[in-house]
Amino acid sequence: MLFRLPRFLAHGTLLALTMLALAACGGSKTEWQLNDVTGHLPDLHFDMTGDNGQPMTADALKGKVVMMFFGYTHCPDVCPLSLTHLHTVMQRLGKLADQVRIVFVSVDPKRDTPEMLHGYVRAFDKHAVGLTGSVKQVRKLTKAYRVVFNTDPPDNHGNYEVSHSSAVFIFDRQGRARLISGSADNMPAIEHDVKQLIEESS
């Protein structure tokens, strides 16, 4: 078909196709919409208890793109909002969502038992996993990712709030820390970048 076109059009089409091919092969730099933290944070590594009550390490998540963030189940507003936002991202990913896991790490291990976490994360998304553990284990994981949290003293009824970092940490399928989103609010950017991570060969 190209032979029938005027010469300049044929050359132009060939040039355009070549450029597209180069871009697809990574000839141009990958664009990330979130903050690229490749090489700046440790690979995903933890020793916690999963929401099934069993010990869990990052090995269980190998091969999946991971969106990890920190919160607690007694938080009525922001944590459910973040989980809802990440669930929306999963919905938009459609079949690709099978390659992704939402990991919710509790900064309130005293109240967040595995049973509590299980019902909680499953109310949001079937691919959401909850992590809890000893205070020491939680501190180790938060420290690795420079996440802060502070447990308020309880009121007369034993209720208390835990303030915590809002960032979402995104790991590729090899468990490498790749991206940070300030919060779960920027769903289009998270969806865009997670898709790219899924499509990465290695």
Tell me how far apart the alpha carbons of residues 108 and 74 are, in angstroms, rounded to a whole number.
9
Element (H, E) at 48: strand 47-50
**Distance, CA of 115 to CA of 50 (rounded, Å):** 10
Among 63, 123, 135, 174, interactor with another protein by CB under 8 A? 123
Q: What one-character DSSP code corresponds to residue 128?
A: E
Closest listed residue to residue 83, CA positions, set 36, 109, 29, 120: 120
Show the site string, 68-107: x = touches another protein by CB under 8 A, - = not.
-----xxxxxx-xx-xx--xx-------------------
Edge to edge, the sheet with strand 47-50 lists: 35-36, 177-181, 168-171, 65-71, 100-106, 128-132, 47-50, 55-57
CB of 147 to another protein, least distance (A): 9
| Of 64, 101, 164, 173, the one binding another protein by CB under 8 A | 164
Shortest distance, position 38 Cβ to another protein, whole Å:
20
CB of 128 to another protein, least distance (A): 10
| Encoded amino acid at 31, one letter | E
User: How far apart are the C-alpha atoms of 106 and 71, rounded to whole Å?
Assistant: 5
The tokens for 112 are 């967040």
42: contact with another protein by CB under 8 A:
no
Beta bridge pairs of residue 170: 67, 179
Binding window for another protein (CB under 8 A); candidates: 46-54, 95-103, 122-130, 131-139: 122-130
| Cβ at position 74, least distance to another protein in Å | 6
Q: Does 37 bind another protein (CB under 8 A)?
A: no
For another protein, the binding residue among 102, 116, 138, 141 (CB under 8 A) is 116
If one asks whether residue 125 binds another protein (CB under 8 A), the answer comes out as yes
- Residues near another protein (CB under 8 A) are 73-78, 80-81, 83-84, 87-88, 116, 119-120, 123-125, 148, 157, 159, 161, 163-167, 182-183, 185
